[in-house]
């Protein structure tokens, strides 16, 4: 079986799972129906407490087990390190991603280093998750200067030799998709988005809006400072500088004075700008490391 110039014998399918006994068996059957017996299928069990590991083992896949729960991103990194084929497909084990769409992603790797399955308007997702994803897509587009259709999708095909360069940047939490996407775009690799329809997940979500709200805020801040510091620091610097100039003009016109508050705001604007330059240099040095 082939997809474009890519043979399924060159394919590793990696599925990170945690307590997915309801979904994993049927998902693995569907994957095998698509890629046959030639592809390598790896299930990374992140210390599930249900029958997930037992069900996966009965399907004859390559099973890797974490002795304790590390997080979705940690399971992804384990799978990337363990994959033995040149093409890696990442997909969630919760039933949202359709194995039948694997060929649509793999065929794109004839021209791209990573193909990401992007949720279409008909995909099933909660209102608050949809709003969060749209906001993050817009923000990521501002950071990268290109249209980002789905920053948080966990369904993607990648060239292993390229993806492994960025393992050291990936967090152990749910934010790995956004991190590797922006990493590869910033490093100049070819990334495309493939519109796909996602199903509603079966079972309860591992992500809760209120519990993980602060985590998502930290993801945004981390992405900002890691990938495009100047685009974040410069507007803040201009805000302080503008307020300082405005306050100076106001006090000078009324009382012919240059106040300490104006000096503070102007100085802060300069300091924030210089911090942005330093952060930009540090960010560039981190990405230079990925070429080693």
**Residue 33: left (phi > 0), alpha (psi -120 to 50), or beta?**
alpha
Q: Can you tell me the distance from the alpha carbon of 260 to that of 273, in angstroms, rounded to the nearest whole number?
A: 20
Residue where the block lists tokens 């997930």: 52
- Between residues 244 and 183, the one the model is more confident about: 244
% of the chain beyond a pLDDT of 70: 86
Q: Can you tell me the distance from the alpha carbon of 139 to that of 201, in angstroms, rounded to the nearest whole number?
A: 26
Specify the 3-state DSSP secondary structure of 148: coil
Residue-averaged pLDDT of the chain: 87
Exposure class string for 230-264: b at 16+ Cβ within 10 A, else e: ebbbbeebeebbebbeebbeeeeeeeeeeeeebee
Cut 0.85: pTM above it: no
- Between residues 18 and 201, the one the model is more confident about: 18
DSSP letters spanning 78-127? HHHHH--SSEEEE--SSS-S-GGGHHHHHGGGGT-SEEEEEE-TTS---H
The CA-based angle 199-76-12, given to 5 degrees, is: 80
Q: State pLDDT tens for residues 200-253.
A: 876 555 555 555 556 666 766 777 787 788 888 999 999 999 999 999 999 999
C-beta neighbour count of 196 within 10 angstroms: 20
Question: Closest Cα partner for 183 from 222, 136, 117, 227?
Answer: 227
Q: What is the pLDDT of residue 28?
A: 96
Q: Can you tell me the distance from the alpha carbon of 11 to that of 31, in angstroms, rounded to the nearest whole number?
A: 12
Q: How confident is the model at residue 283 (pLDDT cuts 50, 70, 90)?
A: confident
Specify the 3-state DSSP secondary structure of 145: coil
Q: What is the pLDDT of residue 128?
A: 61
292: tokens are 């080693």
């Amino acid at each position: 079986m082939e997809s474009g110039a890519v043979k399924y014998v060159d394919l590793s399918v990696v599925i990170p799972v945690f307590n997915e006994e309801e979904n994993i068996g049927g998902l693995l059957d569907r994957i095998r129906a698509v890629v046959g017996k030639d592809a390598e299928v790896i299930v990374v069990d992140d210390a599930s407490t249900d029958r997930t590991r037992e069900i996966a083992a009965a399907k004859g896949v390559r099973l890797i087990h974490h002795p304790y729960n590390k997080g979705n991103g940690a399971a992804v990194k384990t799978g990337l390190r363990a994959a033995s084929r040149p093409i890696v497909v990442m997909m969630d084990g919760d039933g949202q991603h359709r194995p039948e769409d694997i060929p649509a992603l793999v065929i794109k790797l004839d021209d791209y280093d990573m193909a990401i399955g992007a949720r279409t308007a008909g995909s099933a997702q909660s209102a608050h998750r949809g709003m969060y994803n749209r906001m993050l897509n817009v923000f990521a587009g501002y950071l990268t200067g290109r249209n980002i259709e789905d920053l948080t999708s966990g369904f993607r095909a990648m060239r292993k030799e390229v993806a492994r360069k960025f393992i050291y940047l990936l967090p152990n939490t749910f934010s790995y998709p956004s991190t590797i996407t922006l990493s590869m775009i910033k490093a100049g690799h070819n990334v495309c988005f493939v519109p796909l329809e996602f199903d509603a997940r079966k079972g309860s979500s591992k992500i809760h809006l209120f519990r993980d709200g602060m985590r998502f805020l930290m993801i945004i801040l981390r992405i900002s400072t890691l990938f495009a510091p100047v685009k974040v620091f410069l507007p803040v610097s201009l805000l302080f500088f503008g307020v300082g100039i405005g306050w100076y003009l106001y006090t000078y016109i009324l009382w012919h004075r240059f106040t300490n508050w104006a000096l503070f705001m102007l100085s802060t604007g300069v300091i924030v700008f210089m911090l942005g330059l330093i952060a930009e240099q540090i960010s560039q040095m981190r990405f230079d490391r990925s070429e080693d």
